[in-house]
């Protein structure tokens, strides 16, 4: 008998897990945002898969190579591991519509979320979608999950208003998002 599908925590990377340094190309610039490692560690202890889905247009623009991306990702993993936290899988869109045309994997597109669900036997409706931009949480609406928008001083007012109009929960940090997620799991 097959195990039931489980929900995941889909997280954005830049501006959610690490500081958004626009086209980060040096591992030494990686800085975890406040409360991130303990929040991810709580998800890990709860047995909730932590999946990163990230747009990396710097790759399409020729600003970041795969090797550079990998070195930044390794540094992020190292910093998380220091606090007993880990990412279970990462899905990257290396495209940008102005540099090579449109794709269906760039958020708010849902291809990478669907791929993660197929790869890891996840229920997208029981998953939570957390990020600092509308494009990070919009897939949660389309896929029937729970979107949580992290709002801070850098959040565009238009994105905050759009989230409120769409009924998306607004939180101040990843830590608060995880608190809500663990207090009231999705279906």
What are the residue numbers of the active site?
A: 12, 14
Task: Residue 132: name the closest of 167, 107, 165 by CA.
Answer: 107
Structure tokens, 173: 């940090």
Q: What CA–CA distance (Å, rounded) separates 33 from 59?
A: 23
CA atoms within 13 A on the CB side of 115: 15
- Token pair 């623009």 in the structure block, residue: 61
- Token pair 């869109």 in the structure block, residue: 93
Q: What CA–CA distance (Å, rounded) separates 75 from 61?
A: 22
Task: Residue 113: name the closest of 167, 27, 51, 29 by CA.
Answer: 51
CA atoms within 13 A on the CB side of 108: 13
Q: Cis peptide before 51, with omega less than 30 degrees from 0?
A: no
């Amino acid at each position: 008998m097959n195990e039931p599908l489980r929900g995941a925590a889909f997280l954005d990377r830049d501006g959610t897990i690490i500081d958004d340094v626009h086209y980060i190309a040096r591992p030494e610039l990686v800085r975890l945002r406040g409360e991130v490692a303990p929040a991810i560690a709580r998800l890990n202890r709860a047995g909730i898969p932590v999946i990163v889905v990230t747009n990396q247009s710097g790759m399409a623009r020729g600003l970041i190579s795969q090797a550079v991306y990998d070195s930044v990702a390794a540094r992020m993993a190292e910093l998380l591991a220091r606090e007993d936290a880990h990412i279970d899988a990462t899905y990257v869109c290396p495209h940008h519509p102005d540099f090579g045309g449109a794709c269906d994997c760039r958020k708010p597109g849902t291809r990478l979320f669907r791929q993660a669900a197929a790869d890891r036997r996840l229920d997208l409706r029981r998953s939570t979608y957390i990020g600092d931009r509308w494009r990070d949480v919009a897939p949660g609406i389309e896929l029937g999950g729970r979107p949580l928008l992290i709002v801070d001083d850098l959040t565009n007012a238009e994105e905050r208003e759009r989230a409120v109009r769409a009924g998306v929960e607004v939180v101040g940090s990843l830590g608060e998002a995880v608190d809500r997620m663990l207090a009231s799991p999705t279906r």
